[in-house]
Amino acid sequence: MRVLLTTWGSRGDVEPLVGLAVELRKFGAEALVCAPPDEEFVNLLERAGVPLIPLGPTVHSVVAGPKPPTGEDALKLAPSLVAARFETLSAAAEEGCDAILATGLLPAGARDVAEKLGIPYVYACFHIFGLPSRRFAPGIRPGTPSPEGETDNRVLWRQDAERVDALYGGALNEHRVAIGLPPVENVRDHVFTGTPWLAADEVLCPSAGMTDLDIVQTGAWIQPDDRALPAELEKFLESGEPPVYVGFGSMAAYAPKDIARVAIESARALGRRILLARGWAGLTSIDDAGDCFVVGEVNQQALFRRVAAVVHHGGAGTTTTASRAGVPQVVVPRIADQPYWAERVAELGIGVAHQDPAPTGESLTAALAAALSPETGARAKAVADTIRTDGATVAAKLLLDTVSVPSRPPA
């Protein structure tokens, strides 16, 4: 049995598929991952022994410029990714694939390839923020904005669907017609299906009653990481009290201005050492003092258990890893689902939400002081014990069950 897993997005969109692919392999199935060919992702898949099929441009080439991508950039990227999925997924899936599971940046084209081949299709997401809901409004998307003052969530989500159609509809339907399929009218709902899978922990991301869709919540897809920490990092960790970790992952141009300086000064104001994760934003120390250490890509699962607090952007993966480690968090959200994760961290009492995207020394020091309180630390440890780690196993079994039943169009 062979399953094709596909995504286009940051590491937080790729790594869960690696965890799922490894679990599928344990059940005797072959899993291929079709993802952007960034070097970081190539290395991630190679370590797990999972085949990578390159899809589209590297994410770094799109998001790591001096300024964040514009709406015009999105209007160019969307149809190019649709074309890439039809070409790349078709070629991969024709080699005897039994199902396609898609996630990441709206994967228009994946369901259509599955439909043409007559195999099951599953859409999966890592948070509920992008799913239509009467309880919250949609996030910002390139295109014609909703009228100022509109508050009806049903209207706002209908307008969101119109923006998706403007981004993807022309290219999607052009390719569908070319392979003998009829056009679709609502691209977003076509991609999501009526039964999307939610690969997020129920404690961190409760889904009951949050959308009108029939969500299948599996839990987070976690790929266990047993790599040792670099020797120099070990030496730094052992040379003093646990440091404050500061990292903004793949944010690149989205990272707060001067965040390294602000974070270092805030940690020092509280008498704490600092561990900076370089990431795509290129964070680096502001001086040669021995209380600051800069790391590249490392085993966060091991590292977070040895730090005093984690200051981060609020990606689903980083939030889950920090929560599992039982370490207090300060979340400084920037885009997309990140404000949601910041709110959940605050609601659970396991950290602080710094919703202002431009922290100052004073504001970050206050947030960090609150996160480092004994009460927050105790709560973080308590919540860590409630987070499940078997989400990838649950999803692998469900996916194999989906393949074992007669193929039918997704709901």
Q: Percent of the chain, pLDDT > 70?
A: 98
pLDDT exceeds 90 at position 254 = no
> pLDDT of 264-314, one tens digit each?
999 999 999 999 999 999 999 999 999 999 999 999 999 999 999 999 999
pLDDT (0 to 100) of residue 253: 81
Name which of 219, 199, 227 is nearest 46 in CA terms.
Answer: 227
pLDDT (0 to 100) of residue 64: 84
Q: Give residue 217's Cα distance to chain centre.
A: 16
CA 393 – CA 113 distance, rounded (Å):
26
CA 403 – CA 368 distance, rounded (Å):
48
> pLDDT of 320-347, one tens digit each?
999 999 999 999 998 889 999 999 999 9
pLDDT exceeds 60 at position 411 = no
In the numeric block, which tokens belong to residue 286?
């502001």
* Beta-bridge mates of residue 101: 5, 122
pLDDT exceeds 80 at position 216 = yes
Mean predicted confidence (pLDDT) in 189-205: 97
> pLDDT of 55-96, one tens digit each?
999 999 998 888 888 989 999 999 999 999 999 999 999 878
DSSP state letter for 364: H
CA 288 – CA 256 distance, rounded (Å):
22
Mean predicted confidence (pLDDT) in 175-195: 97
- What residue type is assigned to position 152 of the chain? D
Strand residue runs (E) in 223-354: 244-246, 274-277, 292-295, 309-312, 329-331, 351-353
pLDDT (0 to 100) of residue 409: 45
pLDDT (0 to 100) of residue 23: 97
The strands making up 274-277's β-sheet, listed across from edge to edge, are: 292-295, 274-277, 244-246, 309-312, 329-331, 351-353
pLDDT (0 to 100) of residue 95: 78
pLDDT exceeds 90 at position 319 = yes
CA 168 – CA 198 distance, rounded (Å):
23
Just give the CATH number of 231-384.
3.40.50.2000
Q: How confident is the model at residue 410 (pLDDT cuts 50, 70, 90)?
A: very low
CA 28 – CA 1 distance, rounded (Å):
8
- List, by residue range, all CATH 3.40.50.2000 domains of the chain: 2-222+390-404, 231-384
Number of other residues whose CB lies within 10 A of the CB of residue 407: 15
Q: What's the sign of the alpha-carbon dihedral 201, 19, 409, 336?
A: positive
pLDDT (0 to 100) of residue 405: 61
> Helix (H, G, I), strand (E, B), or coil: what is residue 288?
coil
In the numeric block, which tokens belong to residue 107?
């994967």
CA 162 – CA 165 distance, rounded (Å):
5
Q: Give residue 244's Cα distance to chain centre.
A: 23
> pLDDT of 7-18, one tens digit each?
999 999 999 999
The domain 2-222+390-404 is placed in CATH, from the list 3.40.50.700, 3.30.590.20, 3.40.50.2000, 3.40.190.10, at 3.40.50.2000
CA 192 – CA 48 distance, rounded (Å):
28
Contact (Cβ atoms closer than 8 angstroms) between residue 148 and residue 124: no
CA 58 – CA 69 distance, rounded (Å):
14
Average pLDDT taken over every residue of the chain = 95
pLDDT (0 to 100) of residue 408: 45
DSSP state letter for 214: -
> pLDDT of 373-398, one tens digit each?
999 999 999 999 999 999 999 999 99
pLDDT exceeds 70 at position 118 = yes
CA 347 – CA 361 distance, rounded (Å):
24
Name which of 367, 364, 374 is nearest 345 in CA terms.
Answer: 367
CA 346 – CA 354 distance, rounded (Å):
9
Q: Percent of the chain, pLDDT > 90?
A: 90
CA 297 – CA 290 distance, rounded (Å):
21
Q: How confident is the model at residue 407 (pLDDT cuts 50, 70, 90)?
A: very low
- What residue type is assigned to position 291 of the chain? D
